[in-house]
Structure 1
Amino acid sequence: MKETAMATKSSPDIGIKEEDLKSINAGLGQALADTFTLYLKTQGYHWNVTGPHFRSLHLMLEEQYNALFLAADDLAERMRALGVEAPGSMAEMLELATLKDHEPASDAMTMVKNLQRDHEAIAAAIRPLSEAADEAGDGATADLYNGRLDFHEETAWMLRAFAS
């Protein structure tokens, strides 16, 4: 996990150790950056998809990027609740993200497979973050992560089904 440059403004007194808060916020920063990166990639594919399945894929990608946009907001607001500033620029997002931010594809199935891979990667990255948050006594962040896991795993499944 990449270290964030976000300084703690004022640590909340909510029963979570300072070192745990720092680790939790670093994980949230990475999850936010990956979510925002995937949001942009999904939106771009939505705009540029062509082919015989255009309409169904165009609509499915719209649903996905709308959900990713809302998820990015939830992750950023959780960081704020835990006392740090959320990344707010493309430079910060790209520094923290583990996903590739730009993968042009002219073929719809390549787009689908790229997105499937990215949803699976985010799910794999979030799973240990959820466990760590839970172990630190931060059930709210663990619950947020578990909701994200459900979304990414289900979306990966739908994309796999579409591509098969």
Structure 2
Amino acid sequence: MTIETLYQQMLAAMGPRHWLQAGIPPAETPWEILWGGILVQNTNWRNVDYALANLKAATDFEPRQLLALTDTELTTLVKPAGFYTRKVPTLKALAAWCGQYDFDLTVMRVLPAEQLRRELIALRGIGDETADYFSMYVFHQPTIIIDTYLRRLFGWLNQPLPSNYLKAQQLIMQA
């Protein structure tokens, strides 16, 4: 089975999908997607939900308000998601990066895809998968996210992907 055939069969069977995972409620704002994308790293969504509820109450998900928080205040808010010593600096770095574009998602969405991805990956705590997640779900850039579930699917189809993230992504994007 080719990647194109798999794609067409999945599209016919399931139709278009507008959210990454079943069981995760749709985000209220793109900012919630950004903060949630950081908070979900190495934890489960239930814990992230608590942290996002705290962030919403304190900042209404606004990046300027997030940046106005002290590290101690932000740590208290996101502690339910775990790994807060890594996630707090990443949240602040992401919010500061958005500030370079005056927190205007419209401006960020017209950045060339390669530039957007490069800038996101340059931020502490954001790797390939998270950058692609943001590119797709916040900045509306077409891409494929090479995650554990996709690798598992391809393994079940006896079409294992290269272990290198970018090589696997390139293989699928070419198809």
TM-score, normalised with respect to structure 2: 0.24
- Structure (1 or 2) with the greater helix fraction: 1
Relative contact order (C-alpha < 8 Å, sep 6+): which is higher? 1
TM-score, normalised with respect to structure 1: 0.26
